[in-house]
Amino acid sequence: MGRINSKAEEILYNQGLEPQHHKIQECVDHFREKMGITQEIFARLGPSTFGCMGNSRLFMLFDQKFTDLPKNQLEGVIAHEVAHFKLGHIDKRNAYNSSVQGYFSAVLSATGYLANAFFLGIAMNSAMEYAQSSPISAYHVLGLSRFMSKAQAFMCSGIYGIASSAFYGMTANAMIRKQEYEADHCAAEHTNADQKQGLVEYLANHRDQSKSGRITEYFEMFVDHPAPTKRIEAILAIPDAS
């Protein structure tokens, strides 16, 4: 899920759909209307299955393998993707990214400035002491001091940058994992028992057939999707829609 630029938006919009893929669009329209989404969502062939948002249009991309899924799995997955739009997840992710990245950028700049000032004072004192006992010019003392302070400040900023990037990645992934559970719950509330079971079967197959599905079982905190087994447990705990 994410935003795309205007050029990509126009390319997707003008791409259209092959006749054999019209069933995807019909299913998207069904769940869009069922979830009360008034804005049209355009189904388009893409590299994988996910939703994205342009300046004025919504898209649900799907890959060629997606069209070969059993009917109930296809409907269950589409309900999940449409639920992301229903819950406003793209805007929430963008807002989080902008606010957190802005915060870390400001702190990183301040860290570099303060570290530079701190180490410049230390370097100046050390260099002046050295200059008193050695025939070195004040110009060279100042140059050496500035170089030392900037190098040390750069190291501090680098350490902070690595730590903040790791923290940002983990918190962003945690937010996205939460959204996946929310979309599953919303999808389950707007599907029948067969479609809900289809989503469960799709997740189970993904767990068994892909490396990424198995990796999340052990390293969930480092990835942006919950482990398939946990998602399945959560979905099965949701009462069937009436």
**Dihedral over alpha carbons 224, 227, 230, 236 (to 10 degrees):** 90
C-alpha–C-alpha distance, residues 74 and 199, integer Å: 8
Q: Which of 12-16, 127-131, 210-214 has the highest mean pLDDT?
A: 12-16
Instruction: Identify the pLDDT of residue 91.
Output: 85
C-alpha–C-alpha distance, residues 136 and 140, integer Å: 7
Confidence band of 29 (pLDDT split at 50, 70, 90): very high
| Residues sharing a CB contact under 8 Å with residue 38, sequence separation 6 or more, in sequence order | none
C-alpha–C-alpha distance, residues 234 and 211, integer Å: 22
141-145 contact pairs (CB < 8 A, 24+): 145/120
- Mean pLDDT taken over the chain: 78
Q: Distance between alpha carbon 189 and the CA centroid of its chain, in Å? A: 25
CB 151 within 8 A of CB 197: no
**What number is the average pLDDT over the span 165-170?**
74
Largest CA distance in the chain: 90
Confidence band of 184 (pLDDT split at 50, 70, 90): very high
Instruction: Identify the pLDDT of residue 152.
Output: 56
C-alpha distance from residue 130 to each of 95, 117, 138, 199, 208 (Å): 52, 20, 11, 72, 67
Instruction: Identify the pLDDT of residue 202.
Output: 93
pTM score, two decimals? 0.75
C-alpha–C-alpha distance, residues 165 and 171, integer Å: 10
